[in-house]
Amino acid sequence: MSTATPSAHAHAEHGHTPFLQHHFREMSQQFDAARIGMWLFLVTEVLLFGGLFVGYGIMHARHPEAFVAAHHHLDKTLGALNTVVLLVSSFTMVLSVWAAQTSRKKLLVLFLLLTLACAGTFMVVKYFEYSHKFHEGLLPGKYYSHKGDTVPGQFLFFSFYFMMTGLHGIHVLLGMAAIAWLVVRALKGHFSSQYYSPVEITGLYWHLVDLIWIYLFPLMYLIS
Amino acid sequence: MSHVNEHAHPVTGPKTYGLVLLALLVLTVITVQASYFDFGPWNTVVALLIASAKGSLVALFFMHLRHDKFNAVIFVGGLLFLAVFLIWTLFDIATRQPVLPSNLKTPVQEFPGAPLGAPVRPSTGQPRGTPAL
């Protein structure tokens, strides 16, 4: 150790993968650092959505009748369908991580594309739900123009509905962009059991998006 | 190098993940069915408990937290802060009375010098019935 410079030593031993950044000692250190960074980011995401969940809790506690009346405008079937679609997409995402861990390149690309297809299905269903609400005037705050309500204050529910599902939808779109980037890199043959950090941390992000929807679904569609 | 990766991050197979997906779908059916029952004030609690069971499955298996104690501490630490935020806010919401004269335990002076507990004209503090200045 005293004769060889540390960097030369590291490059000689680990020179077989071009994806080791020079500031990391070895691949497993780089992998662990990437995951810690992602988990810290996910915690900030939890707190970001947490603020909206707390606001939802306050307004739901203060205006229970308005929230129950407003949630009847949502379609439980479409909500449940989207829940299943996202759960399946989490499953295909974790299988693509497994495919990368075991160096199965074709399966990796296949599972990533299946995940993209599920995410696309989710957004299409969301599009139909949103356009139905725009048409009915079920909009947040002062834009609420639905006629024939018997319970006042329903605009409050739709403020939270659009903020929370909208922010979640943006996260789905960003996840789709990240997965598309993974498909390109997977096709170039970048990923193997030696190096799959991007697949792993995109997977973590994608599962968190699923996790948030798991809480959004009962709070928006199933309240009583 | 590969033995280091595999030692630190054990590979879980598709079978386990398939079973987890099955459990998640069953719990989704349960949460939809549970929404047709009336548990009174516990409706939201039941829904959140089922959601948390699903969330735990996702975090432990799909996000590999069962093999990853370090990041589990980071994540659960974040959830604890969220719990403090949510629970303490709900304490306030649940125990706060609307500010109405009938809820006040002692007569309140509207401002210094106003008659205690007597109806006053809000703008001047004079007893009701006296002509305006």
**Residues B18 and B59: beta-carbon distance below 8 Å:** no
- pLDDT, tens digit, 9 for 90 and up, residues B62-90: 999 999 999 999 999 999 999 999 999 98
Q: How confident is the model at residue B43 (pLDDT cuts 50, 70, 90)?
A: confident
Higher pLDDT, B113 or A92: A92
Asked if residue A11 has pLDDT above 80, the reply is: no
Model-wide pTM > 0.90: no
Residue B48 falls inside a structural domain: yes
> In this structure, what DSSP letter does residue B100 have?
-
Q: Per the CB < 8 Å rule, is B47 touching A31? A: no
Q: Which residue of A has its CA nearest to B24?
A: A87
Q: Say yes or no for a CB contact (<8 Å) between B55 and A214.
A: yes
Domain positions in chain A are 29-221
Q: Do residue A98 and residue B12 have CB atoms under 8 angstroms apart?
A: yes
Any idea what DSSP says for residue B101?
A: G
Within an 8 Å CB–CB cutoff, is residue A143 touching chain B? no
Residues A124-173: pLDDT tens digits? 999 999 999 999 999 988 889 988 888 888 999 999 999 999 999 999 99
All residues of chain A having their beta carbon less than 8 Å from the beta carbon of residue B59 are 207, 211
| Within a domain: B116 | no
* Residues A12, A123 contacting (CB under 8 angstroms): no
Q: How far apart are CA B88 and CA A51, in angstroms?
A: 13
Read off the pLDDT of residues A189-213 as tens digits, 9 standing for 90 and up: 999 999 999 999 999 999 999 999 9
Asked whether residue B38 is assigned to any structural domain, the reply reads: yes
Q: From B21, which residue of chain A is nearest by alpha-carbon distance?
A: A91
Q: Name the residue facing B14 among A26, A95, A211 (closest C-beta).
A: A95
What is the structure's pLDDT at B74? 97
Give the span between the Cα atoms of B119 and A113, in whole angstroms: 73
Q: Is A88 in contact with B35 (Cβ distance < 8 A)?
A: no
Helix/strand/coil for B97:
coil
Q: Do A222 and B11 lie within an 8 Å CB cutoff?
A: no
Contact with chain B for residue A91, Cβ under 8 A: yes
Q: Is the ipTM of this complex over 0.95?
A: no
Model pLDDT, residue B121:
52
What percent of chain B is modeled with pLDDT above 90? 50
CA dihedral for A13, A18, A24, A28, sign (positive or negative): negative
Q: Which domain holds residue B19?
A: 1-63
Any domain includes B55: yes
Assign domain A29-221 one CATH number from 1.20.120.80, 3.40.50.970, 2.130.10.10, 2.60.40.10.
Answer: 1.20.120.80
Residue A12, pLDDT > 50, answer: no
Q: Is the dihedral of CA A82, A38, B76, A164 positive or negative?
A: negative
* A residues 44-83 lying closer than 8 A (beta carbon) to B: 46-47, 50-51, 53-54, 57-58, 60-62, 76, 80, 83
Nearest to B1 among A26, A76, A95 (CB): A26
Number of domains in chain B: 1
Is residue B127 assigned to a domain?
no
**Helix, coil or strand: residue A114:** helix
Q: Would you say residue B120 lies in a domain?
A: no
CB distance B116 to B109 below 8 Å: yes
